[in-house]
Amino acid sequence: MALMLVKFDMKKRVKLAQTIWFLYWFAVMAGVLVFSMGLFFKIELRKRSELMDNNESHLLPNVLILMGLIACGVNAFGGKVCYDSLDPSKFIKWKPMLKPFLMFCVGFNGLLFVTALLCFVMRIPLQFTLAMGLKNGMKFYKDTDTPGRCYMKRTLDLMQMEFRCCGNDHYRDWFEIQWVSNRYLDFSAKEVKDRIGSNVDGQYLMDGVPFSCCNPSSPRPCIQGQMTNNTAHYSYDHYTEELNVWKRGCREAMVSYYGGLMNTIGALVLLVTMLEIAVTIGLQYINSSLSSLVNPEDPESESEGWILEKTVGETFTDIMANMKAMSKGGKVEEEAEAGVATVS
Amino acid sequence: MVLLKIKFTQQRRVHLAQGLWLLSWTAVIWGAIIFCLGVYLKMELLRRDEVMDNTEIHVVPNILIIVGLASIGTNWVASCVCQDSLDATRFPRWKVLLLGWFPVAAVLCCLLISVVVLSFALQGRLEESLKVGLRNGIRFYKDTDVPGRCYQKETIDRLQMEFRCCGNNNFKDWFEVQWVSSRYLNFTSKDVKDRIRSNVDGRYLLDGVPFSCCNPSSPRPCLRYTLTDNNAHFNYEYQSEELNLYSRGCRQALTDYYMELMNSTGPGVLSVILIQMSVILGMRYLQTAVEGIMALEDPEGESDGFLLEKGVKETMEDLKVKALIMLQFRLVDPIATEGSSEDADLEKAEKEASPTPAS
């Protein structure tokens, strides 16, 4: 009892072949889409790799790029086979390859599904990488004269302005590190000496933030320095002041940005997986309908198409039996050789 | 003497019609592209509407949009004519339309050329408009509590951050304007009172700039206040400090941006002009060749295609004569009616005069 048996006459076969050929070209474009999404994600990660300590995992974009390329190739080949299936003389040369090709397609679809799941899962390691990277990034904000870190200030400033965020979790993170370089501190001034003396590590800490934390929507000019001192600024209460600097932390902002990106890519890859499954089933129908012609000499005769020749259970037992036979066959050959060796 | 005559066999006519059909569809697509370019340019200009004083520069995207739409319609008609041109029963209905088609297509080409010229000519007006708009924006920066101006601060801040510019001509423009709202000034403090007294209009001026002027590429944390005082900051010299703030003025930045945008549409517009002119020439040849064949009533024979039936001078003379006749027609008619009414009066007078001898 075949799985999902469908009767086909000549017209139906032609229509099926045309539809599946059209869908295959659609699937080629879907493959290009997956490839370009992988490329885009890779570029986005590279752009901010400084903020992730340069040790972010490029596994996901690499897998997407690879899957996109394989999808293009597989779908182009499938489209060619569909096109030739309408002509019996051309189809003959593809016939022996079809079964292994279909098995390969099934495996490829499974891998695509795993890739889609990966998109949703890889969010978690990325979160940790971002947290670590931002913390270190803020520490190196002042090192604009250290080779290898001289662009950290610019990167952080641009990021805070673009993502509308300040600090790691909130703006107070800037109070805990020295973000003014020693080159611009007058060590003979009393105020500087007081500040440095007042903490254990000898760091110049201040209750101020860089300019990139400023919120343009604030009705008053930005207050960056002496933020916790209400008397330093007229009509200012730092507990109720909301619009002055960005309230959100940059870790949250970046995670939600990359998380949204990965969710979108995951959803698109799922859609592509479903398309691939549809074309694989279509090709299987074409293959089975062309190989079960009632009258093999007459290409216009009726035929039947199916997904599996026997039911799922029977197919499974068949596969297990085949595998056992193959392994037994191997054993028998070994014994025969050993027997020959001992005899000789 | 016919202008640029070419002999057309049946085969050549078919090729001409097919080629022209393809070319006119290409022109339709290019017309759509021009339309989209016009829409994009208009949207970009509208986005920065608040810092522009007048909307004169909007004539460039408006013309692009109109020409794009008109070109789509015109070239679609051309493709229909091409499709019907090889069928002797269907071509005659396009004859009258073609008379009007050529002037419309020529006007489109002229409009496109004018767009290219305008986009260069209006640069000065754009700069003027930006100068006034930015000056007002900087003046009203502090008015975040005045309805109608409360978003000026945010607009100017975002503009300066996005275009990496400061002030109108340079950052010193901020020294001449009070950009701190009086709501946040402590009028009892000595510093505030001194500053307000030290200028005629009673404004709180300072040698400082808003945070949006800060340059992220600077190696040191941004210095925004007491910029002219070298002693106020350690290791700082006002004259030689380059990276601290953006050195470019916003007027220059915006003008450069819009000029670049309009110049990048230049090659597209020029190629549309070329394609449109080729469509006009091809259509003229097709029209004359098909009309010649229809006159001969032999669909398989040869015919001549030409641009003008007589030479350029003769055609101009002909057009002049035709125009004069049309004008004279209107002049002759009134004279004829006047003449006839005079005659009627004369007759009436004669009739009145004549009965008296009888009675």
Give residue-wise pLDDT tens across range B32-59: 999 999 999 999 999 999 999 888 899 9
Under 8 Å between Cβ of A14 and A21: no
Reply yes or no on whether the pLDDT at A190 is more than 50. yes
Token digits for A160? 């805070």
Residue A95 half-sphere exposure, CB side, CA atoms within 13 Å? 13
Lowest pLDDT segment from A91-95, A184-188, B181-185: A91-95
Better pLDDT: A296 or B127 = B127
Do B234 and A233 lie within an 8 Å CB cutoff?
no
Asked whether residue A71 carries a pLDDT value surpassing 90, the answer given is: yes
A296 versus B162: the higher-pLDDT residue is B162
pLDDT above 80: residue B184: yes
Q: What pLDDT score was predicted for residue B291?
A: 83
Alpha carbon distance, N-terminus to C-terminus of chain A: 51
pLDDT at B359: 41
pTM: 0.79
Check A234 against B214: CB less than 8 A apart: no
pLDDT at A333: 64
Per-residue pLDDT tens over the stretch B195-252: 999 888 889 999 999 999 999 999 999 999 999 999 888 888 988 888 999 999 999 9
- B140, pLDDT greater than 70: yes
**For an interface test with B, which of A227, A234, A236, A237 has the most B Cβ atoms less than 10 Å from its Cβ?**
A234
pLDDT at A247: 92
**Which chain A residues contact residue B210 at CB under 8 A?**
221-222
- Residue A75 has which token pair? 């779908």
pLDDT at A104 over 90: yes
pLDDT digits (tens, 9 = 90+) for B251-279: 999 999 999 998 888 888 999 999 999 99
Read off the pLDDT band of A88 (50, 70, 90).
confident
B232 close to A (CB below 8 A): no
Q: CB contacts < 8 Å between A and B, how many?
A: 76
Selection from B162, B210, B171, B207 nearest residue A218 by Cα: B210
Range with lowest mean pLDDT among B86-100, B165-179, B291-305: B291-305
Question: Quick check: B344 pLDDT over 50?
Answer: no
Residue with tokens 């409009």: B111
Write down the pLDDT at residue B346: 52
Do A184 and B233 lie within an 8 Å CB cutoff?
yes
Q: How confident is the model at residue B357 (pLDDT cuts 50, 70, 90)?
A: very low
First to last CA, chain B: 72
Q: How far apart are CA A49 and CA B158, in angstroms?
A: 26
Nearest to A185 among B157, B214, B234 (CB): B234
- Predicted-complex ipTM score: 0.77
B221: contact with A, CB 8 A cutoff: yes
Nearest residue to A5 (alpha-carbon basis) of A224, A303, A230:
A303
The stretches of chain B forming alpha helices (DSSP H) are: 10-47, 59-85, 95-121, 123-139, 152-163, 190-197, 250-264, 266-296, 312-353, 355-358
Between CA A291 and CA A184 the distance in angstroms is 82
Mean pLDDT, to the nearest integer, of A158-172? 93
Residue with more model confidence, B335 or A196: A196
Query: Which pLDDT score is estimated for A336?
Result: 63
> pLDDT per residue over A247-290, tens digit each?
999 999 999 999 999 999 999 999 999 999 999 999 998 888 88
| pLDDT surpasses 80 at B305 | no
A102-107 long-range contacts, Cβ below 8 Å, gap at least 24? A102/A280, A102/A283, A102/A284, A102/A287, A104/A74, A105/A74, A105/A78, A105/A276, A105/A280, A105/A283, A106/A280
- Residue A257 C-alpha, separation from nearest chain B C-alpha, in angstroms: 20
Distances from the Cα of A101 to the Cαs of A89, A108, A228, A278, in angstroms? 20, 10, 69, 15
pLDDT of residue A30 exceeding 50, the answer is yes
Residue with the larger pLDDT of the pair A60 and A326: A60
